[in-house]
Each structure stands twice: as structure tokens, then as C-alpha cells.
């Protein structure tokens, strides 16, 4: 796990955008795993800007989103279909047939989850998975206690997660109780994981994920076992890390041949 600490969310998003852009340029038919929520918004804005100004080409890229609320129509203002369309897909030249997002209206949810896993495998697996981190340490919607080997499936949200996400709904009572989410086992099969966490509200979850024991109680801690995980933090999110100074020293003094950017 490489921990990259920058002063603010804008700089963190910029580092993440350069990493994603490099992946797409080096492998134009990359398979990207995408996250939603407030954290990756700036990242998607920067990638769209790179598409317009630097001709970053997404025409051969395939995407798989982490999750979707169960029961929400894709047109619902709080659905992740709508989020991705407004924040990214409508801004770049991605082929519509290459976009994959769990179907919150699936009639047979179990069969849909199996099919989603199969589509990821058939695409060759995920090259780069973008992740956010919940305030309780969840990845995707894998809440604390989730199986570390879990696959795409239905999950019940905790009240804490529902409260955290209530800001995206007109009425907090409208936040669904259930979601479809990639599992932790699915996420860990990605060739690279790129976790973004910004703000003091994520500091405790970051410290537990990066420096605590690997445990199902903190799903983000599983990334300690990933062979290529990069954790991009702003100063506030990194504020509880005991070894923050060391992580900064390592990043500043990486040998040229090891530098990703």
C-alpha cells in the first residue's frame, strides 16, 4: 500500500486524474472500476477536462461501477446511473455499450449479481478500481462485517451510511435500505486500487484502514493485502496517521524509475 498525502482535495484529485489518464493512455482499452459520491467528483471533472483539452480518449475504455441503490430508477436524481451520466459519461467519448452499472430495478437480483461478475471476467478483469472510503471504513457498500471474500451481491445499509448519504436525497427517509454492490473479493481482484479520502470526517476510517489490523470490521483495511493499492489523502484525512511523516518522505524520495507520474 502506497500512501500519498497532499495538502487538499483538489491536489489529491489531480494526482488521481494523472494516474487514471496514464492508465488509459498506456492501455486504451482499459477496464475501469468507478466509484460515486462526493469524493470522486473532482476527479471526474479533471478527466473530462483532459478529454477536451488533451484529447484523452475513452472510446475503447470499458467501465464497471461499484454499486447502485436497489429500487431506484436510473433516472432518479440520486441514482448512480444519473450521477455517472451527469458527472462523467456525458462529458467524454465513452461508448455507451461499454458502460456497466448494477441494475437497481433487476427482477432477479441474485441472477443479476452473478451476471455482473461474469461481465467483469469476460472483459478481462478491472485494470484500475477507483474507490472512496466510508466514514465507518466501508468500501463500495461493503459495510463493516462484510465477508472479505464477498462477490457482487445485495447488501443492507447501516443507519450510519444512510445518514451519510441522506444529503443526496430530498427527504432522508427516502434513502434506500438495500443496494447492489461489488464484493470485497471482486474489488481485490482489480490490478490496481486507487482509494481517495478527503476531509477530517474520514480521518478515523483512514487510520484504521491504513495502520490498523486487517479486519472485516473495517473493510478498507483489506487493501493492506493488495499488491498495488494507492491511497490518496488530503492533510485532514491523514491527520490521525501515526506514520504520516514517513509516508510523505517516501513519496517525495521515490527513485525515478519507480515514479508513476
**Res. 122: pLDDT tops 70:** yes
Best CATH choice for the domain 2-236 from the list 3.40.50.300, 1.20.1110.10, 3.30.300.180, 3.40.50.1360 = 3.40.50.1360
136 is a catalytic site residue: yes
Q: Is 117 noted as a catalytic residue in this protein? A: no
Catalytic annotation present for 143 = yes
| Mean pLDDT, residues 51-61 | 97
Hey, what's the cell of 179? 443496494
State the pLDDT at residue 58: 98
pLDDT at 256: 75
Pairing of the two strands 67-69 and 128-131? unpaired
| pLDDT band per the 50, 70, 90 thresholds, residue 261 | low
Q: Distance of alpha carbon 3 from its chain centroid, rounded?
A: 16
**186-241: pLDDT as tens digits:** 999 999 999 999 999 999 999 999 999 999 999 999 999 999 999 999 999 999 99
- 136-176 residue pLDDT tens: 999 999 999 999 999 999 999 999 999 999 998 989 899 99
β-pairing, 62-65 vs 99-100, is parallel
Kindly list the domain boundaries of the chain, sorted by start residue. Answer: 2-236
Q: With contact defined as beta carbons under 8 Å apart, do 189 and 222 qualify? A: no
The strand pairing partners of 142, in sequence order, are 139
pLDDT for position 254: 85
Q: Which residue is catalytic, options 68, 117, 127, 136? A: 136
User: What pLDDT is attached to residue 117?
Assistant: 98
CA distance 62 to 66: 13
Nearest by Cα to 213 from 199, 225, 195, 230 = 225
Q: How confident is the model at residue 255 (pLDDT cuts 50, 70, 90)?
A: confident
Q: Which of 51, 81, 98, 138 is catalytic?
A: 138
List pLDDT tens digits, range 63-115: 999 999 999 999 999 999 999 999 999 999 999 999 999 999 999 999 999 99
Q: What is the pLDDT of residue 259?
A: 65
pLDDT for the residue numbered 260: 64
Among candidate residues 117, 127, 143, 189, the one labeled active-site is 143
d(CA 135, CA 160): 9
76 classed as catalytic: no
Amino acid at each position: 500500500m502506497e500512501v500519498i498525502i497532499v495538502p487538499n482535495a483538489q491536489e489529491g484529485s489531480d494526482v488521481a486524474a494523472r494516474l487514471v489518464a496514464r492508465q488509459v493512455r498506456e492501455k486504451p482499452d482499459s477496464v475501469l472500476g468507478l466509484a460515486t459520491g462526493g469524493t470522486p467528483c473532482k476527479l471526474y471533472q479533471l478527466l473530462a477536462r483532459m478529454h477536451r483539452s488533451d484529447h484523452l480518449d475513452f472510446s475503447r475504455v470499458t467501465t464497471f461501477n461499484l454499486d447502485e441503490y436497489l429500487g431506484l430508477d436510473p433516472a432518479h436524481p440520486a441514482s448512480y446511473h444519473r450521477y455517472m451520466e451527469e458527472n462523467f459519461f456525458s462529458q467524454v467519448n465513452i461508448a455507451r455499450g461499454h458502460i456497466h452499472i448494477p441494475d437497481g430495478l433487476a427482477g432477479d437480483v441474485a441472477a443479476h449479481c452473478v451476471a455482473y461478475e461474469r461481465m467483469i471476467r469476460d472483459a478481462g478483469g478491472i485494470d484500475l478500481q477507483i474507490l472512496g472510503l466510508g466514514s465507518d471504513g466501508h468500501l463500495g457498500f461493503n459495510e463493516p462485517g462484510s465477508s472479505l471474500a464477498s462477490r457482487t451481491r445485495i447488501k443492507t445499509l447501516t443507519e450510519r451510511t444512510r445518514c451519510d448519504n441522506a444529503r443526496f436525497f430530498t427527504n432522508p427517509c427516502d434513502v434506500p435500505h438495500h443496494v447492489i454492490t461489488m464484493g470485497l473479493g471482486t474489488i481485490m481482484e482489480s490490478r490496481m486500487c486507487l482509494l481517495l479520502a478527503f476531509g477530517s470526517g474520514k480521518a478515523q476510517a483512514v487510520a484504521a484502514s491504513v495502520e490498523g489490523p486487517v479486519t472485516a470490521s473495517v473493510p478498507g483495511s483489506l487493501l493492506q493485502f493488495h499488491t498495488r493499492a494507492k491511497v490518496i489523502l488530503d492533510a485532514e484525512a491523514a491527520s490521525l496517521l501515526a506514520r504520516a511523516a514517513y509516508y510523505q518522505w517516501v513519496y517525495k524520495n521515490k527513485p525515478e524509475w519507480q515514479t508513476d507520474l
